[in-house]
Structure 1
């Protein structure tokens, strides 16, 4: 069965975690392309402001205040979409939280809370979305992480949650295909992205945390997500780093262990004391409506790898251009 998805401008899109980082960038980009939106987050004030912003640009945006770890809250999201739009075409499970700290030091209550949001929030959203999409057709998009392919030091429980998201999504995709559901199920696998993740995370370190380089801007992920809204894709890696990490983790796991041992602890600490870390958002929303953290001096604005995967013709053109440039600039031997 060949699945055809609607153009973004004809879609109703549900976005969880819509008031910060990747979710915020995706909401703004989707609105600019004419989508109708159901925005989901815990921060009602931020949701109201964002909805007004997008409506002022011509988007038909609505919002639902919800905690994705609570299945009844997620059911209300689907009910709102049905009430306002008659349903939805794409559901994006993006909401997530983070913790920086050694797995032996992170409290069990905090680990449970992260798993409730990052994993069970994705499960709740997927199940409720599929109950509609299996009849009406459309796309389910789950945002994972490069740390799903290779667990990272100081991100043990987050890595475990994203491993679980990947396993759940892969299993769900096969079961949906066997049942001939007219649904595209995509896992988005980003590299390190300059979002509010490190600002909002709970911190067990002795200094304020940051993500390791190289980093990409959140628009790179938003672009990949919207590509998956229109084109059935199994998985999209955002940034070559994510793809390389997955390959290295499979081919040379001990070498990756050693590299993390030598680099990951220092690369994930700023020079500022932990006492200056803002309040975390594990148990409730904090400052929202920011896409980027401000903790990195440089984030890549595009990924040739992801462009090549999502737009093969453009990727081949870029590769050909680079080859021509290299041939022109390559020094020729003197006669």
Structure 2
């Protein structure tokens, strides 16, 4: 069954974690594209301000306070979207939290709370969205990470949750395909993104961490998400750095382990004063997309742009394969000539 998705200008889009980082950038881009948007987050005061901002910009927007760890609250958000707009066409499970610290030092209650948001939040959102999406067709978009496929030290609980999100998303996709359901299921896998990720994380380290470079702008992820909202795609890596990391981890796992075990901690270390925060249990109130503490930020990704356009990606891969084949043939002819 070929899945057809509406143009963004004809869609209603629900976004969780809409008041910060990737979710905030996605909401702003969606409104610019003409979509009607339901904003979902834990902080009602921040939602009020964002609603006012986007409405003043000409957007048709509504909002609902919900903690994604509570399925009932997300069901209320879905009901509110239908009551306001009559339906929704895309549901984006974006809300996420993190911790920094060695796994042995991370309290189990913190790890459980992280999973309540990162994993169960995706499960709850997906199960709440599916009845409407299966009825009218649409897109379910889950936020994974490059760390859905790879791993680094000091973020073990977060990485485990993103592996779980990938397993859930990929299995759900298969089951919907088997049922011929008109639902596109996409997993977005960002590289390091210049959001408030570090500042909002619960930090158990004795230093202020950072995202290892290169770091990309949240707008790059927002564009990938909204592309998936209107173009069925299985998954999208945001940033070539993340795709390269995953490639090395898969191709040479032992080499990857040795490199990252030696360099992984220092790559995340800074001399900045440690920020005390606990995004696991508290909610942000500022409407900030970017941290500003990640040095040079890449505003675009050639890799992601080509991945969004499959024909161009295929042409590049085919061209690369042809060049490699020609090189191998030329080497073989040279060897034969020397014999």
Shared fold per TM-score greater than 0.5:
yes
- Given that 1:92 and 1:141 are in contact with CA atoms closer than 8 Å, whether structure 2 keeps it comes out as yes
Residues 280 and 286 of structure 1 are in contact (CA less than 8 Å); yes or no, is this contact kept in structure 2?
no
Q: Which residue in 1 is equivalent to 2:58?
A: 58
Matched, 1:180 2:148: no
- SS of 1:219 mapped into structure 2: helix
- Paired with 1:288 and 1:316, the residues of 2 have a C-alpha distance of 42
2:296 is aligned with 1:293? no
1:220 and 2:230 aligned:
no
Cα distance between partner residues in 2 of 1:294 and 1:175: 41
The 5-angstrom pairing of residues 85-104 of structure 1 reads 85-104=85-104
Q: What secondary structure, in the 3-state scheme, does the structure 2 residue paired with 1:152 have?
A: coil
1:157-215 Cα shifts (integer Å, max 9, x gaps) = 00000000000000000000101110000000111111000000000111111111111
CA contact (8 A) 1:304 1:315 kept: no
8 Å contact kept, 1:147–1:159: yes
Cross-structure match for 1:152: 152
Query: CA 1:110/1:25 → structure 2, altered by over 3 Å: closer, same or farther?
Result: same
Distance in structure 2 (CA, Å) of the matches to 1:315 and 1:264 = 31
- Give the length in aligned residue pairs: 317
What is the CA-CA distance between 1:318 and the residue it aligns to?
9.8
Corresponding residue for 1:329?
A: none
Shift in CA distance, 175/216, structure 1 to aligned 2, threshold 3 Å: same
Shift of 1:288: 2.6
Q: Superposition pairs for residues 271-286 of structure 1, below 5 Å?
A: 271-274=271-274, 277-286=275-284
Which secondary structure state, in structure 2, belongs to the residue aligned with residue 272 of structure 1?
A: coil
Residue 330 (structure 2) aligns with: none
User: What is the TM-score when the length of structure 1 is the normalising length?
Assistant: 0.92
Distance 1:86 1:57 in 2: 22
Q: Following TM superposition, by how much is the alpha carbon of 1:224 offset from its aligned partner in structure 2, in angstroms? A: 0.3
Trace 1:57-206 onto structure 2 (pairs within 5 A).
Answer: 57-206=57-206
1:307 is the counterpart of 2:305: yes
Report the alpha carbon displacement of residue 260 of structure 1 after superposing the two structures with TM: 1.2
Alpha-carbon distance, 1:246 to partner: 1.6
* Structure 2 segments unaligned to the other structure (5+ residues): 318-339
| Displaced runs of 4 or more, over 3 A | 312-319
Q: Does 1:20 align with 2:20?
A: yes
Q: Structure 1 stretch 165-174 or stretch 126-135: which is displaced more? A: 126-135
Mean CA deviation greater in 284-293 or 141-150: 284-293
The aligned residue for residue 44 of structure 1 is 44
Confirm or deny: 8 A CA contact 2:146 2:191 kept in the other structure.
yes
State TM-score, norm by structure 2.
0.91
Bigger Cα displacement from structure 2, 165-174 vs 146-155: 146-155
